[in-house]
């Protein structure tokens, strides 16, 4: 089955280009000018970057919304926070059934996996590791990055009026970051989601970080290179690296 043996690996790399300024702070989930830290997140050298976890989380929510709508036949999504596809109670039930039937752990894992929605199968759940990994997107080597200060206005929650002008930092548009994503042992039925991820990133509609409703955070994946590693070229990849492999057209993923 799927769980241990090497089957395939996709590597997608490219350049993330900031079409508009980006604000990715540590408090990006609740952009509250009073509570949040209004600086952008930086690496140990003080250079802004885009955390892989932010990219993955934002991509997942985007895909969840699309698949939850039912527009892709054969692919489904739960709402992981409010309506998970497999609840703790479901797990208890499955574990009991497996025990009653005297089946092994592998059967149990297969049974749980089969109940997961397409998005949890790919992005992981409480019970299965993610097949997708995205590295922190660091500034492209040789590129400069500029930080702009922007004015924001806080709305008073009680009176609904504007008060508290504040400043927040943005990474300027035109900044370029390295994108590197891997997908391990993906089943054919989920490839449509991988295509969707690449096309969403390529089309420039994708937004990340804070203040996206104000137009910030548009990024576009450019200079995309896609590699597929199978048993046929695994040795070449291990011995000679990615450059020795042939690129794939994304339409053929």
- Tell me whether residue 34 or residue 81 sits nearer to Zn ion (CB atom): 81
What's the CA gap between 250 and 191, in Å, rounded?
11
Contacts with Zn ion by CB under 5 A: the residue count is 4
Least separation in angstroms between CB 215 and Zn ion: 31
- Tell me whether residue 58 or residue 175 sits nearer to Zn ion (CB atom): 58
Stretch that binds Zn ion, among 52-60, 104-112, 114-122, 174-182 (CB under 5 A): 114-122
Least separation in angstroms between CB 134 and Zn ion: 19
The correct pick among 117, 171, 183, 253 for binding Zn ion (CB under 5 A) is 117
Distances 20 to 71, 111, 213, 218 between C-alpha atoms, Å: 29, 45, 12, 5
Based on the shown chain and the rule CB under 5 A, indicate whether residue 193 belongs to the binding site for Zn ion. Answer: no
Least separation in angstroms between CB 94 and Zn ion: 15
Q: Which residue has the tokens 């993610």?
A: 130
Least separation in angstroms between CB 184 and Zn ion: 19
What's the CA gap between 248 and 242, in Å, rounded?
12
* 38 Cβ neighbours under 8 A, 6+ residues apart: 25, 152, 166, 167, 168, 169
Stretch that binds Zn ion, among 33-41, 60-68, 119-127, 215-223 (CB under 5 A): 119-127
Centroid of chain to Cα 10: 15
Q: Which residue has the tokens 């400043």?
A: 167
What's the CA gap between 198 and 201, in Å, rounded?
5
Least separation in angstroms between CB 129 and Zn ion: 14
Q: How many CA atoms lie within 13 A of 111 on its CB side?
A: 17
- Tell me whether residue 40 or residue 117 sits nearer to Zn ion (CB atom): 117
- Tell me whether residue 117 or residue 137 sits nearer to Zn ion (CB atom): 117
Least separation in angstroms between CB 68 and Zn ion: 10
* 143 Cβ neighbours under 8 A, 6+ residues apart: 175, 176
Residues in region 69-108 near Zn ion by CB under 5 A: 78, 85
Give the residue from 82, 89, 76 showing the smallest Cα distance to 121.
76
The correct pick among 120, 145, 194, 208 for binding Zn ion (CB under 5 A) is 120
Interface contacts to Zn ion, rule CB under 5 A: 78, 85, 117, 120
């Amino acid at each position: 089955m799927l769980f241990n043996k090497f089957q395939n690996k996709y590597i997608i790399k490219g350049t993330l280009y900031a079409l508009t300024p980006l604000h990715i702070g540590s408090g990006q989930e609740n952009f509250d000018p009073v509570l949040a830290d209004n600086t952008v997140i930086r690496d140990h050298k003080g250079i802004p970057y885009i955390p892989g976890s932010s990219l993955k989380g934002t991509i997942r929510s985007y895909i969840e919304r699309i698949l939850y709508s039912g527009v892709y036949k054969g692919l489904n999504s739960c709402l992981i926070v409010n309506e998970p596809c497999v609840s703790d109670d479901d797990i208890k039930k499955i574990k009991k059934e497996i025990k009653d039937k005297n089946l092994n752990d592998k059967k149990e894992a297969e049974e749980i996996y089969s109940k997961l929605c397409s998005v949890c199968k790919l992005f992981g759940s409480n019970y299965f590791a993610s097949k997708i990994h995205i590295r922190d997107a660091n500034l492209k080597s040789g590129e400069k990055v500029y930080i702009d200060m922007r004015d924001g206005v806080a709305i008073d929650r009680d009176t609904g009026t504007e008060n508290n002008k504040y400043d927040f930092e943005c990474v300027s548009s035109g900044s370029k970051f390295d994108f590197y994503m891997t997908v391990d042992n993906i089943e054919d039925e989920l490839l449509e989601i991988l295509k969707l991820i690449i096309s969403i990133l390529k089309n420039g509609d994708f937004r990340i970080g804070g203040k996206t409703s104000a137009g910030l955070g548009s990024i576009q994946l450019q200079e995309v290179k896609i590699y597929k590693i199978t048993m046929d070229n695994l040795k070449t990849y291990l011995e000679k690296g990615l450059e020795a492999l042939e690129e794939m057209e994304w339409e053929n993923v």
